[in-house]
Structure 1
Amino acid sequence: MTGWHTHAIWWHVYPLGFVGAEPTLAEAGDEPVHRLPQLVDWLDYAVELGVSGVALGPVFTSASHGYDTLDYHAIDPRLGDRADFDALVTAAHERGLKIMLDGVFNHVGRDHPALRRAVEQGPEAAEARLFHLDWPDGGPPAEPRYASFEGHEGLVELNHDEDAVVDLVTDVMRHWLRAGADAWRLDAAYAVPPAFWQRVLPRVREEFPDVYVVGEVIHGDYPAIVRDSGMDAVTQYELWKAVWSGLNDHNFYEVAHALERHNGMLEAFPPLTFVGNHDVTRLATQLQDRRAVAHALVLLMTVGGTPSVYYGDEQAFEGLKEERLGGDDAIRPAFPSRPADLPAEGWPTYHLHQELISLRRRHPWLHRARTRQLELSNELFAYEAASDGERLVVVLNLAEDVAQVAVPDVGQVLAGSADLGVDGVRVPAHGWAVLG
Structure 2
Amino acid sequence: MMANRRWISVSMAFLILFTLTGCGKIEKEGKDSEINADGKIEIEFWYGLGGTLGEVMEDIIESFNASQDEIKVVGVQQSEYEETKKMIQAAVASKEVPATALLGFSDLRQFANRGIMEPLDDYIAVDKDFQPEDFAESFMSYCIVNEKTYGLPAYGTTQVMYYRKDLFEKAGIDPDEAFKSWQSLAEAAEKLTVRENGETVVYGWEPMYGEENLMDIAYSNGGSILNEDGTKVILNSREWVEAWEAIRKWIHEDKIMRIHFGGDGWEYWYKTIDDVMQGRAAGYVGSSGDLADLDFTKIDSHIQPGFGENPPKPYVDAITCGILADASGKQKEAGFKWLSYLTSAEGNSRIAMAAGYVPVRNSVMENPEFKSYIEEHPWAEVPIEQSKIGRMNFIDPTGGKIFQAITDAGDLVEIENVSAKEALDKAQKTAQQALDEYLDSK
Q: TM-score, structure 1 length as denominator? A: 0.24
Q: TM-score, structure 2 length as denominator? A: 0.24
Structure whose residues are more often helix by fraction: 2
Structure whose residues are more often strand by fraction: 1
- More relative contact order, 1 or 2 (CA 8 Å, 6+ apart): 2
